[in-house]
């Protein structure tokens, strides 16, 4: 897989029927390794190992209902009371982080109303903080550590 703009980590890879699989520590099962899954796994490990995000507060492939259709958020961070706090959307490294990607995560946020949104293709990462009182958002210079997240 392509080297990404994320710290290296040890992933548990396996081969089955000519396909490579990666063990997803959040879903606790092996997932077929695609370019987008490669980004997800490295990003989740980055959050846990380098930014101090508690593994038990993260979930992958979170379903939500939007306009009578079922959608899936790539990763969601929850608080200690199981309220969503952050949505993370991943794309494969060859996919540009365009307005379309930001529109997608914004639609998910209509349902979840989280204060933080992140999009990443493994090479570029964007994080914004949403202020619902002023109906504004601000792009952050860096991905905040878990302890830096506002309560």
Evaluate if residue 134 carries a pLDDT over 70.
yes
pLDDT for the residue numbered 151: 61
**Which of 151, 144, 150 is CA-nearest to residue 53?**
144
Share of the chain above pLDDT 90, in %: 86
**66: pLDDT confidence band, cut at 50, 70 and 90?**
confident
Instruction: Name the average pLDDT for the chain.
Output: 94
Residue appearing with tokens 């993260």: 58
**73: pLDDT confidence band, cut at 50, 70 and 90?**
very high
94-133 pLDDT, tens digit per residue, is: 999 999 999 999 999 999 999 999 999 999 999 999 999 9
Which domains are assigned to the chain? Answer: 34-145 (3.90.1570.30)
**85: pLDDT confidence band, cut at 50, 70 and 90?**
very high
**89: pLDDT confidence band, cut at 50, 70 and 90?**
very high
Residue 47's Cβ-count burial label (10 Å; 0-12, 13-18, 19+) is buried
- Strand segments (E) across 1-151: 13-16, 19-24, 29-32, 58-66, 69-78, 84-90, 116-120, 125-131, 136-139
Q: What is the mean pLDDT of the segment spanning 39-54? A: 97
16-34 pLDDT, tens digit per residue, is: 999 999 999 999 999 999 9
**68: pLDDT confidence band, cut at 50, 70 and 90?**
confident
Q: Please provide residue 83's backbone torsions phi and psi, each rounded to the nearest 5 degrees.
A: -95, 135
The residues, any chain, with a CB within 8 Å of residue 32's CB and separated by 6 or more, are 19, 20, 21
């Amino acid at each position: 897989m392509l080297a990404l703009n994320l710290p290296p980590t040890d992933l548990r890879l396996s081969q089955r029927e000519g396909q490579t699989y990666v063990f997803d520590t959040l879903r606790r099962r092996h997932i077929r390794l695609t370019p987008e899954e490669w980004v997800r796994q490295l990003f989740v490990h980055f959050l846990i190992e380098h930014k101090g995000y508690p593994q038990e507060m993260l979930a992958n492939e979170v379903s939500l209902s939007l306009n009578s259709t079922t959608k899936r958020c790539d990763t969601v961070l929850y608080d200690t009371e199981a309220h969503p706090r952050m949505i993370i959307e991943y794309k494969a490294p060859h996919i540009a982080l365009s307005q379309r990607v930001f529109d997608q995560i914004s639609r998910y946020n209509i349902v979840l109303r989280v204060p933080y949104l992140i999009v990443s293709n493994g090479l570029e990462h964007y994080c914004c903080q949403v202020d619902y009182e002023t109906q504004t958002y601000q792009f952050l210079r860096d991905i905040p550590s878990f302890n830096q997240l506002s309560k």
